[in-house]
Amino acid sequence: MLHLSNLTMQYQGRDGGTVQVLNIPEFSLAAGEQVALIGESGQGKTTLLHLIAGILTPTSGKIELAGVILNNLSEAARDRFRAEKIGYIFQSFHLLPGFTAQENLELGIMFAGRGGGPARAKGLLQQVGLAERLHFYPRELSAGQQQRVGIARALANQPVLVLADEPTSALDAGNRETALQLMIDLCREQNAALLVVTHDRAVAARFPRVVELKDINQL
């Protein structure tokens, strides 16, 4: 379902030289599979997620998702594909501050071209335990509640793949466990593949497959 081949990413350093961040000969994720990708800060985990999501384009190589080669698409086409096929869970939530919890989900559903936005948004928020917070703004929600909105939003467009970038690192122990279980359960329910990047081995241990970034990144 997701396949990376000969993927490289380089940046220009401050001294004008080239800095290579990623060099991944091959990596695959099956439909519905749940994988933890573990690595320390600065190893390129977020960069890799941005490449898979089509936010960045690789220096070379191929990213194929659901039969589409993302790096062959224009920026606008990648944006449309991401809105339709990918859910993204951020470390710092990234909710739109001027919109309620329900409206944050409805916008994602609208951008994906799906119907039934209000009903689906309400249903997902009920599933994550926020039935009484539908019309609360992000500033009125706790960190744990904001991340639950973020998880629901990532599933709102019925994606084939959910990407999660250190999704529990801003939460306390209780909220961390709740958020992690919600991600696992909702993705399984919708048969969406889930790729979580983390530096936390306790989080990684919850997944049936754990991949060390250093083992696939041949720098």
Report the alpha-carbon distance of residue 112 to residue 80 in Å, rounded. Answer: 7
Contact 213, 39 (CB under 8 A): yes
Assigned token pair, 58: 């690789």
| pLDDT range class, residue 13, cuts 50, 70, 90 | confident
Q: How many domains, the chain? A: 1
Contact 43, 214 (CB under 8 A): yes
Return the percentage of the chain with pLDDT > 70, whole number: 100
Q: What is the mean pLDDT of the chain?
A: 95
Q: What is the pLDDT of residues 15-28, one digit of tens each?
A: 888 999 999 999 99
Is the sign of the CA dihedral 210, 34, 201, 205 positive or negative?
negative
pLDDT at 42 (0 to 100): 85
Q: What is the pLDDT of residues 51-95, one digit of tens each?
A: 999 999 999 999 999 999 999 999 999 999 999 999 999 999 999
Domain extent, residue 73, equals: 2-216
pLDDT at 126 (0 to 100): 97
CA nearest 105: which of 119, 92, 91?
119
The mean per-residue pLDDT over the stretch 104-123 comes to 94
Contact 145, 117 (CB under 8 A): no
pTM for the structure as a whole: 0.96
CA separation, residue 2 to residues 60, 61, 91, 192 (Å)? 17, 14, 22, 12
The mean per-residue pLDDT over the stretch 99-107 comes to 97
pLDDT at 99 (0 to 100): 98
Q: What is the pLDDT of residues 125-156, one digit of tens each?
A: 999 999 999 999 999 999 999 999 999 999 99
Question: Could you write out the DSSP letters of every residue in 137-204?
Answer: -GGGS-HHHHHHHHHHHHHHT--SEEEEESTTTTS-HHHHHHHHHHHHHHHHHHT-EEEEEES-HHHH
CATH assignment at residue 45 = 3.40.50.300
